[in-house]
Amino acid sequence: MFSYTRIILDNTELSIYQRGLEYVNKKKVKLTSIINNGCQATASGSRNYEITLGFSRVGSPKYSCSCPYFSEHKKVVCKHIIGTSLAWDRSRSVPDPDEETLEVLCIPEPIFSHKDINEAYNNPLTANLDVIRIAADESGWSRPHAHLPIKPQVCNHTTLELTDINKGISELRAWARKYNFDPYFCAGEIMAGFCELIRFTKFKFDTLNLDDKIKATVLLANFHHELIMEKIDDSEGLHEFSETHLYDLVSELTNNQKLNQTQIKALELIKHKIDDY
């Protein structure tokens, strides 16, 4: 006897499996018709949904549910389908999959939820940068691509000099030349690395004199422009991250210092560079 549940587990998230199991144990799934290689059921909850399980002519599993989750996540199994599948298997005396099978076959849970991702985009300055490092990998499909370091090495220095900014930027440029660097799938990682460099600069900012602070910000703003325009595919809107971090440096300069005309002009140029695309 085959386990239909086992067959569809590789399209099932573990948390959905657990909810489907709860569903069938609470007797919320009613099998309405059973044939040789398929079944139909009604799942009752706040609303009733219709579920059909079976196989296509070439023998791959074919299933559907009338619930909104299933229609939105095309082909990804919902809790009603799991509930029905377990009920159908049990009706044929097929045991539920064991823990180990579930661990191996189910789709791994996303590390960050949509909520985490939205929160990071809403507050780039304080965001956990792992969210953008990982987001592209979580999009469900991915090409082989380089895995980049967390941050440029200069960020581990105890002091900051202007030359460190240049070194950090050179490192980031070298990341983008790596074999297998992918402008889309590596975009989050390189952007996170760049934001680490800006955060490090901000952290050590007061150890620089005013002119060096401005020069540092110019270097970073120029690289920001280069990164967005030449190095990455910015279809996820990652520029928000470096942009916000750079404006934070700029506001540090405009708020706290007595600036002369040349310096004010330099800051205007920096601002222009930041959103020039």
Q: Which residue has the tokens 């370091």?
A: 149
Taking the least distance from each CB to Zn ion, the nearer of 80 and 213 is: 80
Among the residues of 130-209, which ranges form H helices? 130-135, 162-177, 187-203
Stretch touching Zn ion by CB under 5 A, among 58-66, 122-130, 161-169, 256-264: 58-66
Three-class SS state of 111: coil
65 binds Zn ion (CB under 5 A): yes
70 binds Zn ion (CB under 5 A): yes
Contact 210, 255 (CB under 8 A): no
Site string for Zn ion, 102-121 (x = CB under 5 A): --------------------
Stretch touching Zn ion by CB under 5 A, among 69-77, 124-132, 189-197, 241-249: 69-77
CA atoms of 202 and 225, how far apart (whole Å)? 19
Give the interface size with Zn ion as a residue count (CB under 5 A): 5
| Nearest distance in Å: CB 95, Zn ion | 23
Angle at 127 between CA 205 and CA 203, to 5 degrees: 10
21 binds Zn ion (CB under 5 A): no
Scanning residues 122 to 161, which ones bind Zn ion (CB under 5 A)?
Answer: none
Q: Which two tokens stand for residue 81?
A: 């389908």
53 binds Zn ion (CB under 5 A): no
> Edge-to-edge strand order for the sheet containing 61-65?
29-35, 38-44, 48-55, 61-65
Contact 196, 129 (CB under 8 A): yes
| Nearest distance in Å: CB 76, Zn ion | 10
CA atoms of 131 and 108, how far apart (whole Å)? 17
Taking the least distance from each CB to Zn ion, the nearer of 67 and 249 is: 67
78 binds Zn ion (CB under 5 A): yes
Pick the closest to residue 43 from 11, 73, 19, 14 (CA basis): 19
24 binds Zn ion (CB under 5 A): no
Taking the least distance from each CB to Zn ion, the nearer of 78 and 216 is: 78
Scanning residues 160 to 199, which ones bind Zn ion (CB under 5 A)?
Answer: none
Which chain residues interact with Zn ion by CB under 5 A?
Answer: 65, 67, 70, 78, 80
